[in-house]
Amino acid sequence: MNRDSKLSGVLHVLLHMAEQEGPVTSEALARMMRTNPVVIRRVMAGLRDQGYVRSERGRGGGWSLARDLSTLTLLDIYRGIGSPSLLAIGNRHGAPDCAEEQAVNEALDQKLGEAETLLLDSFGAVTLAELSASFHRRVAARPEWNSVSTARHPDKKHTPTGDRHEH
């Protein structure tokens, strides 16, 4: 089953940005995530519209966080990327006049709605600061990761800005 990894990828990018001293270009972020800079710009524009990131044009420009990680939650970012579908299960609509199909769809709609509500509530309880703290605990637990950039991908060499970071 194909899963939508957009939320995971955006969270990954935001944590990278939090480790940088200044703005990060779309090109550098795209290299880190093995995607096209246009994809990065499109996603980041949605987050900018929500006030989560800012962009600076020109030499030395790029993307940076507009808010402290402790004020951003998984729910904020999920909504900032357009609230993609959370669950892969859906209803069948081949026979809308069928009483069995109606009963099944009603039950599934109710339970899937409850599950989605619980998941979104839990997203609201996790801040990006908590994700960052988890990252730093992992780095501290691995002495061979002697720098933040190496910790991002220990089998690759990195520049101080993480430009060669790829997954």
Q: How is the chain split into domains, by residue range? A: 6-152
From the list 32, 29, 70, 31, the residue with the least C-alpha distance to 52 is 70
Of 26 and 165, more confident: 26
91-126 per-position pLDDT tens digit: 988 998 999 999 999 999 999 999 999 999 999 999
Helix (H, G, I), strand (E, B) or coil at 152: helix
Of the candidates 65, 49, 66, the residue with the CA atom closest to the CA atom of residue 14: 65
Token pair belonging to 5: 């990894």
Query: 146: pLDDT confidence band, cut at 50, 70 and 90?
Result: low
Q: Look at residue 90 in the predicted model and tell me its pLDDT.
A: 86
- Is pLDDT at 150 greater than 50 in this prediction? no
Gyration radius of the chain's alpha carbons? 19
Work out the average pLDDT over 39-57. 95
User: 64, exposed or middle or buried, with CB in 10 Å at 0-12, 13-18, 19+?
Assistant: middle
Q: What is the mean pLDDT of residues 38-61?
A: 94
Judged by average pLDDT, the poorest of 40-49, 82-91, 138-147, 155-164 is: 155-164
Residue 88 pLDDT grade (very low, low, confident, very high; cuts 50, 70, 90): confident
CATH no., domain 6-152: 1.10.10.10
- What does the alpha-carbon distance between residue 81 and residue 46 come to, in Å, rounded to a whole number? 6
